[in-house]
Structure 1
Amino acid sequence: MSDAKLAPNLPQWMLDHANRYLSSGGTEGHDYKIAPPGYGEMVVPALLLTTTGRKSGERYIFPLFYGKTGNSYIIVASKGGAPEHPGWYRNLLAHPEAEIQVATQKLKVRARTTSGEERERLWKLALGFWPPYADYAKKTDREIPVVVLDPAG
């Protein structure tokens, strides 16, 4: 992942989080302590997603909260309820092959967007690790994508 760089325009808290994760080799930052507005303090599992830019072809790192289903990881393209999908999700649509780092483990994955019953089931799981997703869904007209990252290889 050495040729990858942090995605541009990340909010400061995400930059701080990703830098701590990277500089520690994954021993810090994989359990992210946060107190979102309207919620108490919680610890949320976080991974680093490396995508290939759909326009630039460059590799970008995004820190994201995640859940697990079987051997796969779940991430949610909420962008805080913004009207448009986050850049990392648009990158995955163009280039579904990606890499993740979960704590100190690095692996290659292939992304797929869920739908129907699978999406409903995994959305409920996502609300378990990050309840504010429900608030984000109320703020936007788009269906927030729930993405599964399946191990590749």
Structure 2
Amino acid sequence: MLYGKEHVRRYQETDGAEGHDWNNTTVLLLTTKGRKSGKLVTTPLIYQRFGDDYLVVASKGGAPDHPLWYKNLLAEPEVEVQVKADRFRARARTAEPSEKPEMWRTMVRTWPDYDEYQQKTDREIPVVVLERVN
């Protein structure tokens, strides 16, 4: 099973042939700009399509604080995304309260543990919408 930097490396080298299908779900690569370091950071994340957009969840396994990649995109919403061989720029935004319930259900269908993660933490776990930029 691939994790962390090895997951990113194999995904990039194989255009997602290794790493896209992971643990009975699908994974994309999200590259954010470090809000403190200014360095590019790539994170493998479970995703689902939602219309023309892609959804990811800032769960960090239900930890009390948001994951670093989410803090980075709050500071700089222009991100890079790789889905298999498709690499593109996107604008990241947190789902609005009115749209989040449907998006959350979409993500829980692919990774049921998200409901458990939300129960473990007092913070509201964000759903992030990645909108392709042409």
* TM-score of the aligned structures, taking structure 2 as reference length: 0.95
SS in 1 for 2:119: helix
- Which one-letter code corresponds to 1:147 in the other structure? V
Q: Distance in 2 between matches of 1:152 and 1:16?
A: 28
- Structure 1 position 106, deviation (Å): 0.3
1:88 to 51, 69, 81: 69
Structure 1 CA distance, aligned partners of 2:107 and 2:91? 19
* Shift >3 Å, 4+ stretches: none
Q: Look up the SS of the partner of 1:143 in the other structure.
A: coil
Q: Write the distance in 1 (CA, Å) between the matches of 2:3 and 2:15.
A: 18
Work out the CA distance in 2 between the residues paired with 1:119 and 1:14.
27
Choose from 17, 24, 48 the match for 1:27.
17
Per the alignment, residue 128 of structure 2 pairs with 147
RMSD: 1.2
Do residues 97 (structure 1) and 83 (structure 2) align?
no
Gaps of 5+ in 2: none
Q: Give deviations 1:95-133, integer Å, cap 9, x for gaps.
A: 000000000110100001012220111000010111110
Number of matched pairs: 133
Q: Structure 1 CA distance, aligned partners of 2:21 and 2:54?
A: 15
Measure how far apart 1:18 and its partner are: 1.9
TM-score normalised by the chain length of structure 1: 0.83
Report the 3-state secondary structure (helix = DSSP H, G, I; strand = E; otherwise coil) of the residue aligned with 2:129. strand
